[in-house]
A and B are shown apart, each in its own frame.
Chain A
């Protein structure tokens, strides 16, 4: 609920998907999507080992067995990151008990020089993130640069020194396979949630 409110405040209603503006609880999409085509299998997701908001080492391999949404943010971002993180927070709330136990989020900073674990912890709190299932990760600039490239995210500093990056949210299945990528921030969070849940039904 809080995430929906933040999202509604930072993003004009005209560009929000209808499912975000509707505060109705979603139906049980595990049943509803039973007949849908399975998500494609793109490739093994690029692995990583990074430092979380709590200073712990988190690797994608540690999350094997869970469905993982991997996205890229930075805490000083004033343009579209304030849309993406609340949208993910909204999905977190709507996933209920599945979140944390079976589904995890990993938000990786593209500004590792600034985004220390402490900074990321504050950012997580500000967005109501449940860190039991949602890691905010940082690492060395070189590691982050290589990882963004491997995921297909463009991140660079412009002439003013500000960071610019493309938005790409990737869903990785329980076996570490990249299954779908959401481009930009205007995707439908309900479709995103359905995709996450659809992978829970797979063996």
Chain B
């Protein structure tokens, strides 16, 4: 009986999702089967920019998930995916690359938006080159914040290992230190930039969502635990679809999305600003492999990874579902 069920499931999965790739699939999908699991686990962290992940809760229900769990991870969302505590989630592409370089059991599935990070500084910092010899606050060494600043520095020819002094403070402490000019710059994602603007602290140096080349590449991407994706390809695609639909919703109905975020404990006004500022509807316009190539090159230049972009792309990504969803979801 067990063997028959397994065989049926295999055939259903194979028939619905194709043949072998990173997720056990390579041919175009035919019709989808129900998800292989009715439980899906996502992380919750302080950032508002991954709003589609939270807003997706109702969409996940319509995709057939019954138990949808969100749990707090702080900013270290990647560990939750690697350990299998979380099944799928949105996070900064550069950190995914660093973890893939180290052999983490993660697979990158697609991109959601091009930017939410903003580099703020004191009057002594007017551009990225001015970071040389300065102090930059980040919440953790190896955090997305540090990787983003490092990528920006290598892009203008600086060496982040030598040319800047990273100091570790929580986002709340960093804001106060910038106000007191005890740090020269900080990198933040919503709601930090919103608070800085509200309190008129520092000034904007780079907005990853607006300033090229950063605005031309996905910033927040969707990754999944590799084992989860392999065992549950239909569920993985359905969860990705829910997140992408939610991204569209954040763009089309910012007030409603902000209210959903407020229900989850985020400040409504900051959430609304974020919905209006981030280009959530642009997920069809960019190629996630471009983002992986771009950031992998920056990180390699900075000596933070050893793998080539091609190796990361070959071993750590599977865009098949994302490509299919680009065709299935229009608008």
B156 at the interface (CB under 8 A from A): no
B245 to chain A, nearest CB (A): 6
Question: Residues of A within 8 Å of B, CB-based: how many?
Answer: 26
Query: Inside 8 A of A122's CB, which chain B residues have their CB?
Result: none
Chain A residues numbered 125-157 whose CB sits less than 8 Å from any CB in chain B: 149-154
Q: Beyond A166-B249, A184-B331, A187-B331, is A152–B30 a contact (Cβ under 8 Å)?
A: no
B324 at the interface (CB under 8 A from A): yes
Partner of A152, one of B31, B62, B256, B281: B62
Contact between A181 and B62 (Cβ–Cβ < 8 Å)? no
| Separation of A13 and B139 alpha carbons in the complex (Å) | 45
Query: Inside 8 A of B248's CB, which chain A residues have their CB?
Result: 183-184
B12 at the interface (CB under 8 A from A): no
Partner of A44, one of B31, B59, B245: B31
Query: Inside 8 A of A195's CB, which chain B residues have their CB?
Result: 330
Segment at the B interface, from A24-32, A35-43, A54-62: A35-43
Q: Beyond A43-B31, A164-B256, A183-B245, is A150–B62 a contact (Cβ under 8 Å)?
A: yes
Bitwise interface map of A from 98 to 118 toward B, beta carbon under 8 Å scored 1, else 0:
000000000000000000000
B32 at the interface (CB under 8 A from A): yes
> How would you classify the secondary structure of chain B's contact residues: helix, strand, loop or mixed?
helix
Bitwise interface map of B from 61 to 94 toward A, beta carbon under 8 Å scored 1, else 0:
1110000000000000000000000000000000
Query: Inside 8 A of B32's CB, which chain A residues have their CB?
Result: 42-43
Q: Beyond A149-B61, A151-B62, is A184–B30 a contact (Cβ under 8 Å)?
A: no
Query: Inside 8 A of B63's CB, which chain A residues have their CB?
Result: 152
Query: Inside 8 A of B327's CB, which chain A residues have their CB?
Result: 37, 39-40, 180
Query: Inside 8 A of A153's CB, which chain B residues have their CB?
Result: 62
A167 at the interface (CB under 8 A from B): yes
Partner of A183, one of B30, B256, B329: B329
Query: Inside 8 A of B28's CB, which chain A residues have their CB?
Result: 40
Query: Inside 8 A of B249's CB, which chain A residues have their CB?
Result: 154, 166, 183
Q: Beyond A166-B253, A183-B252, is A191–B62 a contact (Cβ under 8 Å)?
A: no
Query: Inside 8 A of A167's CB, which chain B residues have their CB?
Result: 252
Contact between B331 and A182 (Cβ–Cβ < 8 Å)? yes
| Separation of A187 and B29 alpha carbons in the complex (Å) | 25
A177 at the interface (CB under 8 A from B): yes
Query: Inside 8 A of A149's CB, which chain B residues have their CB?
Result: 61-62
Query: Inside 8 A of A94's CB, which chain B residues have their CB?
Result: none
Partner of B31, one of A154, A177, A187: A177
A186 at the interface (CB under 8 A from B): yes
Q: Beyond A43-B31, A43-B32, A166-B249, is A187–B59 a contact (Cβ under 8 Å)?
A: no
Query: Inside 8 A of A42's CB, which chain B residues have their CB?
Result: 31-32, 328
Query: Inside 8 A of A184's CB, which chain B residues have their CB?
Result: 248, 252, 281, 331
B284 to chain A, nearest CB (A): 10
B58 at the interface (CB under 8 A from A): yes
Chain A residues numbered 39-89 whose CB sits less than 8 Å from any CB in chain B: 39-44
Query: Inside 8 A of B58's CB, which chain A residues have their CB?
Result: 154
Contact between A182 and B253 (Cβ–Cβ < 8 Å)? no
A151 to chain B, nearest CB (A): 7
Instruction: Across the interface, name the chain A residue whose C-beta is closest to B256.
Output: A164
Q: Beyond A40-B29, A42-B31, A166-B249, is A183–B328 a contact (Cβ under 8 Å)?
A: no
| Separation of A180 and B328 alpha carbons in the complex (Å) | 5
Query: Inside 8 A of A44's CB, which chain B residues have their CB?
Result: 31
Contact between B252 and A181 (Cβ–Cβ < 8 Å)? no
Contact between B324 and A40 (Cβ–Cβ < 8 Å)? yes
Query: Inside 8 A of A164's CB, which chain B residues have their CB?
Result: 253, 256
| Separation of A5 and B263 alpha carbons in the complex (Å) | 40
| Separation of A177 and B32 alpha carbons in the complex (Å) | 11
| Separation of A186 and B30 alpha carbons in the complex (Å) | 28
B80 to chain A, nearest CB (A): 26
| Separation of A119 and B245 alpha carbons in the complex (Å) | 31
| Separation of A167 and B330 alpha carbons in the complex (Å) | 12
Chain A residues numbered 178-198 whose CB sits less than 8 Å from any CB in chain B: 180-184, 186-187, 191, 195
| Separation of A164 and B260 alpha carbons in the complex (Å) | 13
| Separation of A152 and B32 alpha carbons in the complex (Å) | 15
B292 to chain A, nearest CB (A): 24
Q: List 11 A-B contacts (CB under 8 A).
A: A39-B327, A40-B28, A40-B29, A43-B32, A153-B62, A181-B328, A182-B329, A183-B252, A183-B329, A184-B248, A195-B330
| Closest 3 pairs between A and B when the two form their complex, measured CB to CB | A183-B331, A152-B62, A183-B248
- What residues make up the interface of B, taking CB atoms closer than 8 Å to A? 28-32, 58-59, 61-63, 245, 248-249, 252-253, 256, 281, 324, 327-331
- What residues make up the interface of A, taking CB atoms closer than 8 Å to B? 37, 39-44, 149-154, 164, 166-167, 177, 180-184, 186-187, 191, 195
Q: Other CB < 8 Å A-B pairs besides A164-B253, A181-B330, 10 of them?
A: A41-B31, A42-B31, A149-B61, A154-B58, A180-B329, A182-B330, A183-B245, A183-B252, A183-B331, A191-B330
